[in-house]
Amino acid sequence: MRITVALLLPLALLLGACATLPPPVSVDEALKLSQEGNSPDAIIEMMRASRSSYSLSASDILRLSKSGLPEPVLDYMQKTQIEAIRQEERLRQWSERGRWGWDWYRW
C-alpha cells in the first residue's frame, strides 16, 4: 500500500504540472475568426477556455464593430475587462484590510 501511494503521489504531481491553458485569443485573432465565418459562440468559447482578458477603449470597440466583429463577442470582451477590474479591486482591498478584517489590530 505504501509503495503504491509513494509511486502515485509523484506521478499525480508530475501530471498536474503538465496541464496548461491554450494561448490567449488576441483581438486580431478574434476578428480573423469572425471573418472566417466562425460563430460568435465558438469565438467566445475559445476566449473563455484560454481565460483571455481584454482592455478595450470605446474607439477600439467601435473599430472592431465596424470591422465585423459580432456584438456578443464585443460584449464578452468588455465583460472580461470589467471582471479584471473587479478582481484587481478585490485583491487591493484584501491587502489593505488584512487577513482577519478591519478590527484585527487593537490600538
Rounded to two decimals, the pTM is 0.70
Spans of all domains in the chain = 22-94
- Reading the block at residue 96, the C-alpha cell is 489593505
98 burial via Cβ count (<10 Å: 0-12, 13-18, 19+): exposed
- 62 has pLDDT over 90: yes
pLDDT digits 0-9 by tens, 8-22:
777 766 666 666 778
> Count of alpha carbons within 13 Å of 42, Cβ hemisphere only?
10
